[in-house]
Amino acid sequence: MSDENETSILDILTKVNDNTWEVPGNYKPGMNVPGRIFVSKPLLDILEPETIDQVANVASLPGIQKYSMAMPDAHLGYGFSIGGVAAFDKEKGVISPGGVGFDINCGVRLIRSNLMEDDVRPRLADLLDSLFEAIPSGVGSKSRMRLTDEELDDVFIHGVNWAVKNGYGMKGDLSHCESNGMMPGADPSKVSIKARKRGRPQIGTLGSGNHFLEVQYVDKVYDEEAAKAFGLKEGQITFMIHCGSRGAGHQICTDHLQKLTQASKKYKIPLPDKQLACAPASSEEAQDYFKAMVCAANYAWVNRQMIMHWAREVFDEFFKAQHGDLGLDLVYDVAHNVAKLEKHMIDGEEKEVYVHRKGATRAFPAGHPEIPEDYKNIGQPVIIPGSMGTASYVLKGCPAAMELTFGSACHGAGRVMSRSSAKKELRGEEIQNELKSQGIIVRATQPSLIAEEAPEVYKSSSDVVDVVHNLGIATKVARVLPMGVVKG
DNA sequence: ATGTAC
């Protein structure tokens, strides 16, 4: 069966190099540009054939630039594949919620510390219990804090600035978030009452699915200079937070998809897939979505900020008396699901484009104006979470990203088994015990959630990372290994 | 991912 798959995929694609495969511009009628799928041969062998169709479908949207792209962790998503990158002309292009995803600004942040593995290992179980208690998790979980309507507007507009101003963080946190934790252009009047209602009680909650808070240690440094700049060294304790905009972002996406489905008809945009609903970038409908999407993006940054703040408190409670200042600095926070207006060189000219990254990480190189001062000579930290119980990677953005992928890299391991199959075929308790035997503690609200996120339902994060490393899009700086995981 | 179906 897999032989047939392989043959059909290889019949369609043209090999550009070991890690780049082209979907020819004539593969499907209506394609405006060819597709580019960045995978190694082994990852190509497990690529779902429908992903190629999704890449081709996106290539048919108006104003798309250069290529419709898919990162090495690509898999089937709503309209656009997860791992999809597409840039659209500011004037002649479109904006599409499917190119961002339901979990707007799902993303990940990494926090470093002065602690070493041996300092934490003896108290790990208690530490995880306290983190699990301090950070609400699971579907529909409610926050420890209640925002007023005015505060919710401030979160939507000012993002992490609001949090720092109110004592939930340090000034240095701002510059270490992509977009300083605050994308400009938010308009809360474009967010429905329903989305507000869902978002208000959820700020500072982890959610469910692949979202997690993980206590880790730096296992390996590949790039001494970059690791030093990022404040990372072998044996050091770090923690990582992976989550998004919860019900707020989901509702914002749902609301505007409905409006943009109508708009696609109004503007007579031919859609090979209804899930690609979109509108001309400059239209009121597209701009309304964008303004609401920015609200959700800023909400997600605050969400991760609050979780970090409470996790810092827990770490202090455990280790401050003995170790003093723990140096719990934010290394960086990246968005995985967002659309941004960026400047890119296209055919020798600088152009403004709406870059849609859905399950893809921005990976700007050294010298780019959007990189914080202390990382300016290194490149943007690119944080790639592994699946539960497996390694995560820190990379640095490199110049090839600007040439090949509109400054983008992969975002994670990428699923190979659906949630439903995983629940049927795997048992959470067994996986939890298996991880325990490897010294990894998992705290979750339900065993079935552990099954859905088992290591074997994901591709290997190291295979995925090797592709972007070998292409020179983003190169490896350090690897971190999990010690304990808090999950929804 | 998601008050995992209004």
The predicted model gives A464-472 an average pLDDT of 98
Q: Among A28-37, A140-149, A168-177, A320-329, name the one with the lowest average pLDDT.
A: A140-149
Residue A446 within any structural domain of the chain: no
Indicate the Cα dihedral angle A47, A50, A51, A56, nearest 10°. Answer: 140
**Please, what's the b/e burial string for A455-467 (b: 16 or more CB within 10 A of its CB; e: otherwise)?**
bebbbbbbbbbbb
The reported pLDDT for the residue numbered A195 is 98
User: Side-chain half-sphere of A92: how many Cα atoms within 13 Å?
Assistant: 6
Q: Please give the Cα distance from A17 to A20 (Å, whole number).
A: 5
Residue A358 banded pLDDT, cuts 50, 70, 90: very high
The predicted model gives A244-268 an average pLDDT of 98
The reported pLDDT for the residue numbered A8 is 78
Q: Gap from A102 CA to B2 C1', in Å?
A: 8
**Which residue ranges have CB below 7 A from strand B?**
A 102-103, 106, 139-140, 194, 198, 202, 207-211, 243-244, 246-247, 250-251, 419, 453, 488
The reported pLDDT for the residue numbered A4 is 54
What is the tally of structural domains in chain A?
1
CA closest to B1 C1', residue? A103
- Spell out the residues 6+ positions from residue A104 whose beta carbon is closer than 8 angstroms to its own: A244, A245, A249, A252, A253, A293, A296, A297, A300, A337, A338
Q: Find out whether A385 and A375 touch, Cβ atoms under 8 Å.
A: no
Q: Is A387 annotated as a binding residue?
A: yes
CA closest to B3 C1', residue? A140
Closest nucleotide over all strands to A250 (CA to C1'): B2
Q: Gap from A139 CA to B3 C1', in Å?
A: 8
Residue A7 banded pLDDT, cuts 50, 70, 90: low
Indicate the Cα dihedral angle A110, A415, A417, A70, nearest 10°. Answer: 180
Q: Mean pLDDT score of chain A, rounded to an integer? A: 96
Nearest to A95 by CA among A57, A58, A56, A50: A58
Structure tokens at A199: 């978002």
pLDDT for A315-349, tens place per residue? Answer: 999 999 999 999 999 999 999 999 999 999 999 99
Structure tokens at A248: 């707020």
Residue A232 within any structural domain of the chain: yes
**E strand or H helix at A339:** strand A337-346
Q: Gap from A118 CA to B2 C1', in Å?
A: 39
- Give one DSSP letter per residue of A341-376, joined into a string: EEEEEETTEEEEEEEEEES-EE-PBTT-TTS-GGGT
Candidates A75, A250, A411, A469; catalytic one: A411
Other beta carbons within 10 angstroms of residue A478's beta carbon come to: 27
Residue A327 within any structural domain of the chain: yes
Q: Gap from A373 CA to B4 C1', in Å?
A: 43
Structure tokens at A477: 């700086």
Q: Is the pLDDT of residue A3 over 60?
A: no
A50 Cα distance to chain centroid: 22
Q: What percent of chain A has pLDDT over 70?
A: 99
Burial of A433 (0-12, 13-18, 19+ CB in 10 A): exposed
pLDDT for A129-141, tens place per residue? Answer: 999 999 999 998 9
Give the phi and the psi of residue A198 in degrees, each rounded to 5.
-75, -35
Residue A432 within any structural domain of the chain: no
Q: Is the pLDDT of residue A1 over 80?
A: no
Q: Gap from A466 CA to B3 C1', in Å?
A: 39
Closest nucleotide over all strands to A101 (CA to C1'): B1
The reported pLDDT for the residue numbered A106 is 98
Residue A414 banded pLDDT, cuts 50, 70, 90: confident
Q: Is the pLDDT of residue A363 over 60?
A: yes
Q: Please give the Cα distance from A443 to A446 (Å, whole number).
A: 9
Q: Which residue has the higher pLDDT, A2 or A79?
A: A79
Residue A438 within any structural domain of the chain: no
The predicted model gives A390-397 an average pLDDT of 97
Q: Please give the Cα distance from A371 to A467 (Å, whole number).
A: 23
Nucleotides of B under 7 A from a protein CB: 1-4
The reported pLDDT for the residue numbered A420 is 87
Q: Is the pLDDT of residue A454 over 60?
A: yes
The predicted model gives A204-224 an average pLDDT of 96
Burial of A367 (0-12, 13-18, 19+ CB in 10 A): exposed
The predicted model gives A246-266 an average pLDDT of 98
Residue A364 within any structural domain of the chain: yes
Give the phi and the psi of residue A220 in degrees, each rounded to 5.
-155, 135
Q: Is A35 annotated as a binding residue?
A: no
Q: Please give the Cα distance from A300 to A148 (Å, whole number).
A: 17
The predicted model gives A151-180 an average pLDDT of 98
Q: Is the pLDDT of residue A241 over 60?
A: yes
Q: Find out whether A331 and A112 touch, Cβ atoms under 8 Å.
A: yes
Closest nucleotide over all strands to A197 (CA to C1'): B3
Q: Please give the Cα distance from A214 to A299 (Å, whole number).
A: 21
Q: Which residue has the higher pLDDT, A401 or A139?
A: A401
Structure tokens at A3: 């032989």
Residue A472 within any structural domain of the chain: yes
Give the max Cα distance, chain A.
66
Q: Is A344 a catalytic residue?
A: no
Closest nucleotide over all strands to A488 (CA to C1'): B1
Q: ∠ CA(A152), CA(A155), CA(A159), 5° rounding?
A: 170
Residue A310 banded pLDDT, cuts 50, 70, 90: very high
Residue A10 banded pLDDT, cuts 50, 70, 90: confident
The domain that holds A62 is classified in CATH as 3.90.1860.10
The parent domain of residue A147 ranges over 3-416+458-487
Helices A124-134 and A284-323: crossing angle, nearest 10°? 140
pLDDT for A71-105, tens place per residue? Answer: 999 999 999 999 999 999 999 999 999 999 999 99
Q: Is A336 annotated as a binding residue?
A: yes
Q: Gap from A165 CA to B1 C1', in Å?
A: 30
Residue A447 within any structural domain of the chain: no
Q: Gap from A243 CA to B1 C1', in Å?
A: 9
Q: Is the pLDDT of residue A5 over 70?
A: no
Nearest to A31 by CA among A63, A68, A59: A59
Q: Please give the Cα distance from A426 to A240 (Å, whole number).
A: 26
Q: What percent of chain A has pLDDT over 90?
A: 92
Closest nucleotide over all strands to A82 (CA to C1'): B1
Residue A6 banded pLDDT, cuts 50, 70, 90: low
